[in-house]
Amino acid sequence: MWWLAKLGSVSKRVKRTPLYALHRALGARMTEFGGFEMPLSYSGIIEEHRAVRQAAGIFDLSHMGELELRGDAALGVLEYTLTNSARRLADGQAQYTLLCADDGGTLDDLILYRLGRDRYLLCVNADNIAIDREWLLPYCRRFGVELVDLSEELGLVAIQGPKAATILSRLSPIRPGEIGRFHAQSCQLAGYSCIAARTGYTGEDGFEIFVAATHSATIFDALLQAGRDEGLLPCGLGARDTLRLEAGLPLYGHELSRAISPLEAGLGAFVKFGRGFIGESALAAQRDHGPSRRLIGLETADGRTIPRQGYRIFQDDSEVGVITSGSFAPSFNRPLAMGLVQSRANTESGAPISVEVRRRMAPAKIVPLPFYRRSH
Amino acid sequence: MEAPPGLKYSKEHEWVSTEDSLATIGITDHAQEQLGEIVYIELPSVGEKVSKDDPFGVVESVKAVSDIYAPVSGTVVEVNEDLAESPEVVNEDPYGDGWLIKVRVSDPTDLDDLMDNEEYEQMIAREKEE
């Protein structure tokens, strides 16, 4: 649990992104995440969270990894290693997908971009860059596909929120309306070549912008200046986490892990069977017999007690599961949580459960996921 | 904000102000700043006993759960009830309206182990260097 590590303390071996100096100048409180010293928040998690819901927020995501596959057999390697089928992706189109082991456990979840017929970009979790690369390398070698780790060279900046498109269009000749959801386009932004993708991790409309690491601070600052009068705020990983929790989006290490399959995490829509990919037979068995656990949303009855990752979930006096993520949810002004529970538990909306919080039982109930869906 | 003089401070970032054997306890400005926006506080009830260096309550910010440790042993005689509705007061006024509990101190020598404001400021400065 990264936020339980001593707040504000960062060990010596962690890396810094090219935006480090800018974060400090903006008054960010830093934290360690995925081997990087990253901003936890600038003006406060709640204020940043609300800026993204109501206007826009900008995030440094340079810690995320980028792997590129190049070669005629790139699609074949991806079809064999990823749970979602990339076969129907058009150039510039993206999809959410997962990397699984033979037993169906999840190695990583990622966004796959088709850059061209023989070029694909994988945007992966910072903690899993080396794992993904080493996992994919033997398959790439066998089929003559080049695997390039661009994580150091590429920066990633996200602008998210209902005003994101308006702000982006101030800096670029592109018309954001021409980039559909889960599509990406090459563009010039503040004079630099970028790839702008209409993707995100907040439950809002928005863009994730890949740019050479050397220019990422310029892009970040340009977007910040262009959006100030619209209410745009720089946002840290704290707000990123509360935003994705409200949107019911999984975070690797919480809702997904080597011991949790995509089906258990409720991500069956991103598993395409009948292609013979790694882990397919284990996942097919889970599909046929029903996964043994499922992901649920929950809220505590008093509207104050916060269930945190690792707290145990009970129903009718027996232990049925564990909290995977829980936090105060700023859009709802009360705590919300997700958890993995055994399938035998009653997981209907409103079903009573309890969460063990500091050796006491806190009454709670099941709430459908996602908690938040944008209306605009 | 610098730690005000006249209070005693613990290594766990609690402050104590004493009047005869009555100790008012809160968390320092440095502690609230490190925690971020406080959204929930769990405190003992009047009449409960607290033991020096043992946790007596919990402060939760959006991201973090932190135990609050008793800087002195004693019996709780008053609890800041307003914090249940408005925990953010601890962020806004940690040395004033954001106090947590008042304790009847059982052993006044407990206070001798605590730091004064200058010693506490030096400790924070050392932590920042590390």
CATH of the domain at B19: 2.40.50.100
A2-59+153-246: CATH homologous superfamily?
A: Probable tRNA modification gtpase trme; domain 1 (3.30.1360.120)
Residues of A in contact with B61 (CB under 8 A): 45
Which residue range is the domain that position B57 belongs to?
8-129
Distance CA A163, CA A131 (A): 36
CA distance readout (Å), A100 to A11, A84, A256, A260: 31, 11, 11, 10
Q: What is the pLDDT along chain A (376 residues), one digit of tens a residue?
A: 233 334 445 566 799 999 999 999 999 999 999 999 999 999 999 999 999 999 999 999 999 999 999 999 999 999 999 999 999 999 999 999 999 999 999 999 999 999 999 999 999 999 999 999 999 999 999 999 999 999 999 999 999 999 999 999 999 888 878 899 999 999 999 999 999 999 999 999 999 999 999 999 999 999 999 999 999 999 999 999 999 999 999 999 999 999 999 999 999 999 999 999 999 999 999 999 999 999 999 999 999 999 999 999 999 999 999 999 999 999 999 999 999 999 999 999 999 999 999 999 999 999 999 999 998 6
DSSP class per residue in A102-126: TTS-EEEEEEEEEEETTEEEEEE-G
- C-alpha B69/C-alpha B61 separation (Å) is 17
**Does the residue B1 lie in any domain?**
no
Whether A2-59+153-246 and A292-367 share one fold: the answer is: no
| Radius of gyration in angstroms for the set of CA atoms belonging to chain A, rounded to a whole number | 21
CATH domain A65-149 topology: Alpha-Beta Plaits (3.30.70)
Q: Do A306 and B60 touch (CB under 8 A)?
A: yes
Q: What is the CATH number of domain A292-367?
A: 2.40.30.110
Q: How many CB pairs under 8 A join A and B?
A: 48
How far apart, in Å, do the first and last CA atoms of chain B sit?
21
Which element (helix H / strand E) includes A240? helix A237-246
8 Å CB contact between A357 and A307: yes
DSSP state, residue B37: S
- Domain spans, chain A: 2-59+153-246, 65-149, 292-367
CA distance B88 to A162: 28
Q: Is residue B27 a part of any domain in this protein?
A: yes
Please list the residues that pair with A375 across neighbouring strands: none
Q: How many residues does chain A have?
A: 376
With respect to residue B3, please indicate whether it lies within any of the assigned structural domains: no
Given A29, A242, A358, which is nearest B62 (Cβ)?
A: A242
Interface of B with A (CB under 8 A): 34-37, 39-40, 42, 58, 60-65, 84, 130
> Minimal Cα distance from A10: which residue of B?
B130
Q: How many domains does chain B have?
A: 1
What is this model's ipTM?
A: 0.88
The Cα–Cα gap between A44 and A282 comes to 43
